[in-house]
Copies of this chain bind each other. A is one copy, B any other.
Amino acid sequence: MSMQPVLINGSWRTPENPIDTFQAVDPAKKEVLPEIYPVSSSEDVDEILAAGSEAAAQLRKLPSQKVADFLEKFADNIEGRAGELVEWANRETALPEEPRLGTVELPRTTNQLRQAAAATRDRSWCLATIDTGTNIRSKYGPLGGAVAVFGPNNFPFAFNSCAGGDFAAAIAAGNPVIAKANTGHPGTTRIFAEAAFEAVEATGLPKAMVQLVYRLKPAEGFKLVSHPQIGATGFTGSKWAGIRLKEAADKAGKPIYLEMSSVNPVFVLPGVLRERSAEVAAELFGSCSLGAGQFCTNPGLVVVQAGPESETFINQVAELFAANAPGALLGKNGPRDIADAIGVLTKHGAEVVTGGEVADGPSYAFKNTVLRTSGDAFIDNPDALQTEAFGTVALIVFAKDVAQMQAVAASMEGNLTGGLYSHSGGDDDDIYNQVEPVLRQKVGRLLNDKMPTGVAVVPSMNHGGPYPATGHPGFTAVGIPASMLRFGALHCYDNVRAHRLPAELRDKNPTGSVWRFVDGTWTQGDVGVK
């Protein structure tokens, strides 16, 4: 099998002597796949950065609707290759072809791209702000360099570095993208890059608008995110890798947005347990086992108040976890990583109620696992007991009273989400009012009577949260247009002559419908017209 090509500055290149190579694995069969992928060199990174920077400069001269055209054409191209994409992603990740890949994740991905295109056409995302008294005008504009995107293993489509949410947001905000494939699904990513590059050519965008590498040694990764020619970085993946990239980017003053880890605590209050314990148990199992538990928003930590109802609840939960076969994991490290995480939990006072072992079978799998511990133990070792097990694993914490539920919440790290299940009437209102203020500050998205795994692509979504869930509590990775602001620089124009202003900042509203903040009022009108 010949070496797979990378996409650098508009050409697909098959390196003759790469510095190293790797192969992906079919996790459903535990088989190494035949395609050989190159590890890219420092020289490749230099060339990619220079080309990305040049593309950024060229792009600024083109009308923004060409970017929208590209995003839509790319979405069409993806649909044209849907069968191939689903087949490859299934082969590389073991995620089910249906409904997950074909019916859920692929349409979500093209929908994101089309929403991004619509935002680019609409232009309101850039928050054009005009003060007529001083003739000072500002808006968000592109970063002046390409955006590096590192995608995770668990969403081969919707968070793919060459098609997913960060890709769409970075492009829609007017930046080229340098995609670093997740090494779990390089073949899937290559198809996306082909479909994207065809759309680049069809719509006349700069040829380095989309570039692709499969793997970098750590030093090259650090160089990429910290280089003067990079605009910013979007990273979704492990805390271990994310923190190292963050350090490199931070040191150079380059923005980096990371989505790293989260145990997504769910507080199940006493009233709702009395009311509908079995239902909540079923919702927990459904959410926790989605994608074999490999969701960033997987509910891995549940907090209840100790008592007979919560004993019933954990039995109901454990029964469901035990009765269902575990799903196939994404890669060969999955079972070991889950076992390691459970090892940390049990070492610090958690007990396995069910599961806790690698599952036999043709694919990589780990038995669905429920653990329990006390509020006292949790507060003694909050860091260890928040260890994320990336699978269908839930740790249930039994707090002795409401004060201890508060203390458990207070000892938590930043999370993407946090939830409170409460009685349908007012029975849990007092406890809710005591726990919610503490939990609120620890999470990006607060849920009520709902499990966290669904992440709707709507403007109000926050797929973000305080560190270490992400690197900054003010940004979201999902939800257009907000996610685009991560990849914008605030550009102010002071006393600049009218014909030299970007269209969005001229007196005349460029489309007749751009929302702009003019003299303190949001309006779609022209400046000077009441």
Residues of A within 8 A of B (CB): 57, 60-61, 129-131, 133-134, 136-138, 140-141, 143-144, 246-247, 250-255, 414, 417, 432, 436-437, 440-442, 444-450, 452, 456, 458-462, 464, 466-468, 471-476, 482, 485-486, 488-497, 500, 515, 517, 520-522
Contact: B474 with A490, CB < 8 Å?
A: yes
Query: Per a CB cutoff under 8 Å, which of B134, B441, B449, B456 touches A136?
Result: B456
Q: How far apart are the CA atoms of A468 and B517 in the complex, in Å?
A: 29
Contact: B492 with A462, CB < 8 Å?
A: yes
Residues A495 and B253 in contact in the complex (CB < 8 Å), given A136-B456, A458-B136, A460-B131: no
Task: Please name the residue on chain B nearest to A490 by beta carbon.
Answer: B462
Q: Which residues of B contact A458 (CB under 8 A)?
A: 131, 133-134, 136
Q: Which of the listed residues A432, A468, A482, A485 has the most CB atoms from chain B within 10 Å of its own CB?
A: A482
Q: How far apart are the CA atoms of A456 and B472 in the complex, in Å?
A: 28
Q: Which residues of B contact A490 (CB under 8 A)?
A: 444, 462, 464, 473-476, 482
Task: Please name the residue on chain B nearest to A472 by beta carbon.
Answer: B255
Contact: B450 with A500, CB < 8 Å?
A: no
Can you tell how many copies of this chain the complex includes?
2
Q: How far apart are the CA atoms of A446 and B489 in the complex, in Å?
A: 13
Q: How far apart are the CA atoms of A371 and B327 in the complex, in Å?
A: 71
Contact: B488 with A474, CB < 8 Å?
A: yes
Beyond the given A255-B474, A448-B500, could you list 12 further A-B residue pairs with CB under 8 A, ordered by the A residue number? Answer: A130-B460, A136-B461, A141-B440, A247-B251, A253-B472, A417-B494, A441-B489, A444-B489, A445-B492, A446-B494, A448-B493, A450-B494
Contact: B448 with A494, CB < 8 Å?
A: yes
Contact: A138 with B461, CB < 8 Å?
A: yes
Query: Per a CB cutoff under 8 Å, which of B129, B436, B437, B445 touches A460?
Result: B129
Contact: B448 with A497, CB < 8 Å?
A: yes
Cβ of A421 to closest chain B Cβ, rounded Å = 11
Cβ of A133 to closest chain B Cβ, rounded Å = 7
Contact: A485 with B474, CB < 8 Å?
A: yes
Q: How far apart are the CA atoms of A292 and B473 in the complex, in Å?
A: 39
Q: How far apart are the CA atoms of A47 and B482 in the complex, in Å?
A: 37
Contact: B495 with A456, CB < 8 Å?
A: no
Residues A467 and B254 in contact in the complex (CB < 8 Å), given A136-B460, A462-B490: yes
Task: Please name the residue on chain B nearest to A419 by beta carbon.
Answer: B494
Contact: A138 with B460, CB < 8 Å?
A: yes
Contact: A448 with B496, CB < 8 Å?
A: yes
Contact: A440 with B491, CB < 8 Å?
A: yes
Task: Please name the residue on chain B nearest to A447 by beta carbon.
Answer: B494
Contact: B492 with A461, CB < 8 Å?
A: yes
Cβ of A424 to closest chain B Cβ, rounded Å = 10
Q: How far apart are the CA atoms of A329 and B60 in the complex, in Å?
A: 43
Contact: A462 with B491, CB < 8 Å?
A: yes
Contact: A253 with B491, CB < 8 Å?
A: no
Task: Please name the residue on chain B nearest to A449 by beta carbon.
Answer: B495
Q: Which residues of B contact A446 (CB under 8 A)?
A: 491-494, 496
16 contacts between A and B (CB under 8 A): A129-B482, A136-B461, A137-B460, A140-B474, A143-B473, A254-B467, A417-B494, A436-B500, A441-B489, A444-B490, A446-B492, A447-B495, A459-B520, A461-B492, A474-B489, A475-B490
Residues A253 and B522 in contact in the complex (CB < 8 Å), given A445-B494, A447-B496: no
Q: Which residues of B contact A468 (CB under 8 A)?
A: 253
Cβ of A51 to closest chain B Cβ, rounded Å = 16
Q: Which residues of B contact A442 (CB under 8 A)?
A: 144
Q: Which residues of B contact A459 (CB under 8 A)?
A: 129, 131, 517, 520
Sorted nearest first, the 10 A-B pairs with minimum C-beta distance are: A253-B467, A144-B441, A462-B492, A522-B522, A473-B489, A250-B250, A445-B492, A448-B496, A450-B495, A131-B458
Q: Which residues of B contact A517 (CB under 8 A)?
A: 459-460
Q: How far apart are the CA atoms of A33 and B340 in the complex, in Å?
A: 62
Cβ of A124 to closest chain B Cβ, rounded Å = 8
Contact: B471 with A253, CB < 8 Å?
A: yes
Q: Which residues of B contact A496 (CB under 8 A)?
A: 446-448
Q: Which residues of B contact A252 (CB under 8 A)?
A: 467
Q: Which residues of B contact A253 (CB under 8 A)?
A: 414, 466-468, 471-472
Q: How far apart are the CA atoms of A260 and B472 in the complex, in Å?
A: 20
Task: Please name the residue on chain B nearest to A422 by beta carbon.
Answer: B497
Residues A432 and B500 in contact in the complex (CB < 8 Å), given A133-B458, A449-B495, A490-B464: yes
Q: Which residues of B contact A448 (CB under 8 A)?
A: 493-497, 500
Cβ of A236 to closest chain B Cβ, rounded Å = 16
Q: How far apart are the CA atoms of A462 and B515 in the complex, in Å?
A: 19
Q: Which residues of B contact A417 (CB under 8 A)?
A: 494
Task: Please name the residue on chain B nearest to A258 by beta carbon.
Answer: B253
Task: Please name the residue on chain B nearest to A522 by beta carbon.
Answer: B522
Q: Which residues of B contact A492 (CB under 8 A)?
A: 444-446, 460-462, 476
Q: How far apart are the CA atoms of A444 and B143 in the complex, in Å?
A: 11
Q: How far apart are the CA atoms of A446 and B500 in the complex, in Å?
A: 11
Q: Which of the listed residues A144, A446, A460 has the most CB atoms from chain B within 10 Å of its own CB?
A: A460
